[in-house]
Amino acid sequence: MNEEIQTLLIYQICDSLRFQANMEDISVDDVMDVMQENIMVECLLDGVIMDKADVQKIVIQYVTDGELGEEAIGDKMESMYSNSRKKLLKEIDDLDNTISTNRKKDKLLNLYRDTVLNRLQNKKTVLDKLYHGMKEDSSVIRNRIYLERIKNETPNSIAELQLMLQRSIADCIMSEPIGSEKYNIAKEIQINLEDTIRFMKRALE
C-alpha cells in the first residue's frame, strides 16, 4: 500500500472519530485502536503494519496548529483520492498493454513455430519419425527432447525454438553410424532446417 492511501485511510479514521464519535481531541492511540479493531481497515491494510510513529506523523498532518482545518482537510483528501485514482487507472492501462503485447508475441512465436515445423514436415524426410525411431537408451542423448512438446508449447523465443530443433537433429546424427540411411536422412533434415530458417528470416525482414 502506498503512502497516499495510508494517509487517506488515517484521515478517514480521524474524520470518523471526530464527527461520528464526537471526539474533539484525537489521539494516536485512538487511531491505532480503530486500525486494530476495524475489519474493513484490516482488509485495506492487507497485512501492512504501521507503527505508532508512522501513524503519529499522519495525524499531525491532519491537525493544523492544534485545530482541525475542516475545509482544508477535505480538499487535501479529495486531491489525494484523485491522484490515487489516476495512478491506479494508469497501472491498469499499463497492465492491459503488457498483456496485449504478450499475447501478440505468443501469436507470432506460435506462427513461426508452426511454419518452421510445417516446412520440415512437408519434406520427404520427416524429423519426428526419424527422432521417434531412435533408441531410448542411446548413450549420446543426455536430455531427450520430445518433439510433441515443441509442437504444442509456445517457445520463449525464436532462438529457443531453433536451438531445440537443432538439438533434435544433432541427437539423430550423433546416434547413427556415419553413412547409414538414418544418418544421411538426418543430415538432409539439417540442410532443410537451415533453408527454412533463412526463409523465415527473409519473411520477417
Q: Residue 65: pLDDT band by 50, 70, 90 thresholds?
A: very low
47-78: string of b/e by CB count within 10 Å (b at 16+)?
A: eeebeeebbbebbeebeeeeebeeeebeebbe
The average pLDDT across 62-72 equals: 58
- Residue with grid cell 504501521, as numbered in its chain: 50
d(CA 21, CA 34): 12
Q: Residue 50: pLDDT band by 50, 70, 90 thresholds?
A: confident
Tell me which of 80-84, 134-138, 179-183 is least confident.
134-138
Torsion of CA 115, 116, 120, 122, to 10 degrees: 10
For 16-47, write each residue's pLDDT tens digit.
777 766 666 677 788 777 777 766 666 666 66
With a CB cutoff of 8 Å and minimum separation 6, the contacts of 113 are 150, 151, 154, 155, 161
List where CATH 1.20.920 sits in the chain.
99-204
More confident residue, 41 or 151: 151
- Whether residue 147 contacts residue 168, with contact meaning beta carbons closer than 8 Å, is answered with yes
Q: Is the pLDDT of residue 110 over 50?
A: yes
- Whether residue 176 contacts residue 142, with contact meaning beta carbons closer than 8 Å, is answered with no
Amino acid (1-letter code) at residue 176: E
CATH architecture, domain 99-204: Up-down Bundle (1.20)
Mean pLDDT of the chain: 73
The average pLDDT across 124-147 equals: 64
Q: Is the pLDDT of residue 191 over 80?
A: yes
Model-level pTM greater than 0.75? Answer: no
